[in-house]
């Protein structure tokens, strides 16, 4: 059995909460930059970029130069011939979004 100490578990949960907050901010603003997230969370640019890259790999946002935006605010809109698989992310319940952020076992 793999065990995770309390500190590692808290760090992981903080990362999950931070990623959920990033998605919430994108829901409000449609785009956000690394500088804003760095100052908001008090973390390094490397950590912010890692969070954004992770969310991008999961199809939850689109990476832009220096930041990110939701898929439906990008060139791949509902009228696009190639719609995003996460077109309805803005309307997705937080519990569903959280399940997308948790690592697979």
Neighbours of 23 (CB within 10 A): 22
pLDDT (0 to 100) of residue 83? 43
SS (HEC) of the chain: CCCCCHHHHHHHHHHHHHHHHHHHHHHHHCEEEHHHHHHHHCCCHHHHHHHHHHHHHCCCCEEECCEEECHHHCCCCCCCCCCCCCCCHHHCCHHHHHHHHCCCC
pLDDT (0 to 100) of residue 30? 84
- Is the overall model pTM greater than 0.85, yes or no? no
pLDDT (0 to 100) of residue 5? 56
Contact between 18 and 25 (Cβ < 8 Å): no
CATH of domain 11-73+81-100: 1.10.10.10
* Listed ranges 2-11, 16-25, 86-95, 96-105; the one with the highest mean pLDDT: 16-25
């Amino acid at each position: 059995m793999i065990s995770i100490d309390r500190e590692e578990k808290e760090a992981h949960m903080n990362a999950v909460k931070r990623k959920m907050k990033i998605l919430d901010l994108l829901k409000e603003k449609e785009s956000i930059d690394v500088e804003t997230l760095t100052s908001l969370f008090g973390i390094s640019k490397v950590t912010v970029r890692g969070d954004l890259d992770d969310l991008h790999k999961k199809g939850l946002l689109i990476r832009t130069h220096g930041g990110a935006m939701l898929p439906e605010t990008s060139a791949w809109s509902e009228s696009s011939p190639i719609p995003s698989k996460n077109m309805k992310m803005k309307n997705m319940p937080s519990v569903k979004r959280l399940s997308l952020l948790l690592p697979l076992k």
